[in-house]
Amino acid sequence: MTSTSALSLLALFLTDILTLAYVSLLQDETATAAVGIGKTLSFIATILVTSVALAAGSVVSQHAGRGHRRLLPLLARQSLGVALVVAGIVAALEASWLDTVVTWLGPEAGVDGTARVYLQVTLLSIIPIALTQTTAQMLRAVGEPRWALAVVMALALSLALIDPVLIFVLDLQLLGAAFSAVIAGCLASAFGIWRVQRRIGLRGSRRRGVLSAFLARISRMAAPYALAHLATPVSLGFTLGHLATYGVSVMAAMALMDRLLQIGYSFYFALPTALVPVFSLLLGRHQRGAFRIALRRAVQCVLGYGLAVWAVLALMVPLLGAWFSLSPPGQALLVDLCRIGLGFWLLIGLDFIAVAVFLSLERAWWVTFYAWIRATAGTLPWVWLGEKFFGASGIMLGMWCGNALVAMASIGTAIWIARRQGLFSHKARA
């Protein structure tokens, strides 16, 4: 199940950079920057919907494990309904920010209007993509990881195939990228709903008490995760607002860097999903020695993998700037981030291990605490200092430096909590 989840994540990240590559062929840095911002808005919505989907999937999984098969169709339908409402609310809120967001793309974007329409259509795609996410999680919850992967791959493959047709063949250019996201989302969500209907069923209920109990339960489970990720828009908005003052070329470079991080560090992003079941299983069996070994190996893997990605991107960065048609200011930013900034990601990767430890030890509110520390004390002063001394590059380098320091505090806290519970005691049963 872990491998299929990681593969799903990687497939979506690859299609993101493929869309960016297609749009970069239009030789329009404003369009490239718009795609980057559109993907960021979608990412914010995705992580909020994910919190609901994970909580709902956990409830479904628990009932499936207890043999409550009659309840599953009702829970599946309610899960899709909640995801739909959350996605709609998030899309509406983000639509209210569009005036500010468009100003980040420079005066040309405001005059042309194409970038605004692109962002508006991109926000519409949030809803079908949310349904796709939720159906995939429902299938994982009932032990169908391969079908869950198939649903996500349907989204990724649809995007990969429809993008070039709409962008180049039909000559819709930037708008083609937006419409392809909507179409691909609708196709994948329809496929996912069909499979959930076949495997689980979708049955409604007129009993308000059932829905209220379900909402209360997933709210308790999703709240720490969702509140943690609500910190992301705070730090992103502050950072992008400062970065936008350096021009559209810098924003285009940041859009590319964001995609490179998602692909290059997809291993990091998949760590909580991969490690929580392992840590929880070992703790449940009281195999504390094995837990210590697993934790140590995870840290070694993060550092080794981080060094490898840093080396590869540092060597490839001149080619990447040329391939994506970045002008000199954007290329300069990309070089600084790949050759200097990725060193901070060696430490940032440790935060993903800390999240897995917090969740395994049922200390989820520490995830929320450090997410907000990272978005505030770990971002705001460091962005200001970085910009003051090093300009555009300093903004991102400063943010990553602050985030790395918070990651060290986070992993330190996770180890401290584990020690207090006796998990590092050699007297504990191995």
Tokens representing residue 258 in the block:
């964001």
Per-residue pLDDT tens digits for 145-154: 889 889 999 9
**pLDDT given for residue 89 in this prediction:** 92
Using pLDDT thresholds of 50, 70 and 90, give the confidence band for residue 112: low
Phi, psi of 202 (to 5 degrees): -135, 100
Q: What is the CA radius of gyration of the chain?
A: 22
**328 in the same domain as 395:** yes
pLDDT (average), residues 296-319 = 95
- pLDDT confidence of residue 186: 97
**Domain termination residue (choose one: 181, 205, 229):** 229
Contact indicator for 94, 44 with CB cutoff of 8 Å: yes
Most confident of 55-59, 124-128, 287-291, 426-430: 124-128
User: Would the pLDDT of 308 be above 90?
Assistant: yes
Q: Quick one: tokens of 110?
A: 């405001």
Same domain, 120 and 145: yes
Per DSSP, the residues of 39-107 read: HHHHHHHHHHHHHHHHHHHHHHHHHHHTT-GGGHHHHHHHHHHHHHHHHHHHHHHHHTTHHHHHHTT-H
User: 259 and 127, same structural domain?
Assistant: no
Are 304 and 379 found together in one domain? yes
Q: Which residue bears the tokens 């509140």?
A: 227
Nearest of 85, 352, 46 to residue 215 by alpha carbon:
85
Last residue in a domain, options 195, 229, 263: 229
pLDDT of 111 reads: 40
- When mean pLDDT is compared across 7-21, 23-37, 187-201, 332-346, the lowest value belongs to 7-21
Single out the residue of 372, 31, 387, 47 nearest to residue 178, CA to CA. 31
Confidence of residue 191 (pLDDT cuts 50, 70, 90): very high
Which amino acid, one-letter code, is at 234?
V
Determine the pLDDT at residue 429. 45
Looking at every residue in the chain, the average pLDDT score rounds to 86
Going by C-alpha positions, the residue among 350, 355, 377, 378 that lies closest to residue 365 is 355
Q: Which of 174, 197, 229 is the last residue of a domain?
A: 229
Is 382 found in the same domain as 238?
yes
User: DSSP secondary structure string, 329-373?
Assistant: HHHHHHHHHHHTGGGTHHHHHHHHHHHHHHHHTT-THHHHHHHHH
Q: What is the mean pLDDT of residues 65-82?
A: 82
Residue 56 has what pLDDT? 77
36, 164 in Cβ contact below 8 A? no
Confidence band for 410, pLDDT divided at 50, 70 and 90: very high
Q: Read off the DSSP letter of residue 152.
A: H
| Percent of the chain at pLDDT exceeding 70 | 91
Q: How far from each other are the two terminal CA atoms of the chain, in whole angstroms?
A: 26
pLDDT given at position 204 = 66
Phi-psi sector, 426: left (phi>0), alpha (psi -120 to 50), beta? alpha
**222 token code pair:** 């999703």
Look up the domain containing 407 and give its range.
231-430
- Which run of H or E residues covers position 387? helix 380-420
The answer to whether the beta carbons of residues 36 and 16 sit under 8 Å apart is no
Same domain, 224 and 259: no
pLDDT digits (tens, 9 = 90+) for 2-16: 556 667 767 777 788
Q: Which pair of tokens denotes residue 142?
A: 């009932």
Answer yes or no: do 224 and 236 share one domain. no
Question: pTM here?
Answer: 0.76
Looking at the predicted structure, is the pLDDT value of residue 270 above 90?
A: no
Task: Say how many domains are in the chain.
Answer: 2
Same domain for 59 and 7:
yes
Structure tokens at 259: 């995609």
250 and 107 share one domain = no
Buried b (16+ CB within 10 A) or exposed e, 228-253: bbbbbbbbbbbbbebbbebbbbbbbb
Least confident of 50-59, 232-241, 282-291, 328-337: 50-59
| Owner of token pair 């990605």 | 309
In a shared domain, residues 100 and 130: yes
The reply to whether 300 and 387 lie within a common domain is yes
pLDDT at 425 over 80: no
pLDDT at 392 over 80: yes
Confidence (pLDDT) at 430: 42
| d(C-alpha 177, C-alpha 254), whole Å | 19
- Which residues, at least 6 apart from 77, have a Cβ–Cβ distance to it below 8 Å? 202, 203, 204
Question: 299 and 183 in one domain?
Answer: no
DSSP 285-320: TT-HHHHHHHHHHHHHHHHHHHHHHHHHHHHHHHHH
Of 202, 190, 219, the residue nearest 85 (C-alpha): 219
Mean pLDDT in residue range 140-144? 81
